[in-house]
Amino acid sequence: MLGNVFGLDLGTYEIRIFDKKKDRIWREKDAIAMKNRRYVYAVGNEAYGMFEKAPDDIRVIFPMKNGVIAHFDDMQYLLGALLESERRFGRGDEYLVAVPTDVTEVEKKAFYDLVCHSEARAKSVRIVERGLADALGFGIDVITEKGIFVANFGGGTTELSVLSEGGMVLNRLLKIGGEDFDSAIAALVRRNQDFLIGRLTAERLRREFGVFDQSTDSAITVSGRDLITGVPAQMKVSISLVRAAMKELLEECVRAIRAMIDRTPPNVRSGIREKGICLTGGMANLRGLSTYLRESTGLPVMTMEEPELCAVRGLRQILLDRAYYDRLTYSMMDEDYRWLR
C-alpha cells in the first residue's frame, strides 16, 4: 500500500493523530493566532503559546466549540497548515475520525467534510463513535463486554456513553468541560475578591487544588488585576473558593451519570456495576476527580495514564485489527447511511 492511514481525534483544544506507518501518536494544539483579524500569524502549539500573552492586535481563536466544529473554514485552514508544515501526510491517504455521538447529522458530517475536502485529499474517510474508541483505548474488548460506561471529561464537553457488545446503547453530550470550570473559578474570584484573573490562571488553580481532599486552608498567590484600583496585582486565592466554583458543575455531571445508569437496561447495568466507570479525557487528570465520582455515584471508577489519549489509542486498535475496523467504523457515503435517506 503506497498511502498511509491516520486516526484523528479532534478535541476542543488539541488534535491527536495516530500515524499507522510510523506506529506512533502525535499531538498539536487546536488554535490559530490571527493578526488584525485578517492575517494568520501562527497555528497549533505556537498559536496556543500566545494565548492571553499576545499583544492586542493578535487574537487566538479555537475553531472547535463544545466538541464540534464551530468555524469550519478556520478548522480546515488549521488542518491544512499542520499537514503542510509537518509533512507527515500525503494525498490519497485513508483516515479514521472519532466523532461525538450525541450531535446532529450536520455536525457529524462536518468532520467528514473537513478531512475529505482538506489539503489531504483523502482517499477514504471513515467514522467511529468516540465512546467506542475511548473504551478500546482503555483496553476493553467492546465487542464481547456486556456493559461499559465511559465518561470522557474533555476541555469543552463531557461525553457519557453506555456500550454493549460493540454497540452504543445510550449517549449524552454535556456542554460542560475544563473551560467551563475555569470560567466558573475566574467568575467567583472576580465576584468575591474584586480581582480579575485569566483563564490560564484559573486552570492553574483547578489543577493545583483538584476536587477532592481534606485540605481546607490552602491558598495560592496568583497575578491578575485589582478591579478596585485598576492596576496589576497579586492576591491569594483559597482552595475553598475554587472548590465552591466547581461544585455546581460537578454535581450536574453526577446527576447526568446517575440518570443514564437509571435508563440503562438491567442486563447492561449489571456489567457496569461490576466494572464501574471508565474515566477518560483531559479532565480525568484532575486530582481527586475519580474519588469524587466514586463517592457520588457509588460505582468503581477506573482511570489510566494519559487518559486524554484513550480515544486515539482506540483508533490505533481499530486500524491494526480488521475485525474492529469492519465492525465499528462506517462511511457517511455508504448507501445505507441515514444521512442519505
Q: Please, which residues bridge with residue 148 across strands?
A: 163
Q: Please, which residues bridge with residue 163 across strands?
A: 148, 168
Predicted local distance difference test score (pLDDT) of residue 339 = 45
The C-alpha cell at 152 is 470522557
Q: Which CATH number fits domain 5-133+310-340: 3.40.30.10, 3.90.600.10, 2.60.260.20, 3.30.420.40?
A: 3.30.420.40
Average pLDDT over residues 119-124: 72
Check if 5-133+310-340 and 178-245 are the same fold: no
Q: Please, which residues bridge with residue 57 across strands?
A: none
Q: Work out the pLDDT band at 214, boundaries 50, 70, 90.
A: low
Fold type of domain 135-176+255-308: Nucleotidyltransferase; domain 5 (3.30.420)
Give the torsion through C-alpha atoms of 53, 56, 58, 59, to 10 deg.
80
Q: Work out the pLDDT band at 333, boundaries 50, 70, 90.
A: low
**Domains in the chain: boundaries:** 5-133+310-340, 135-176+255-308, 178-245
Half-sphere exposure of 308 (CA within 13 A, CB side): 22
CA distance 277 to 260: 12
DSSP three-state, residue 115:
helix
Task: Summarize pLDDT for 152-185 with one digit per residue, the tens.
Answer: 999 999 999 999 998 999 999 999 999 999 999 9
Maximum CA extent, the chain: 66
Give the torsion through C-alpha atoms of 192, 195, 198, 203, to 10 deg.
-40
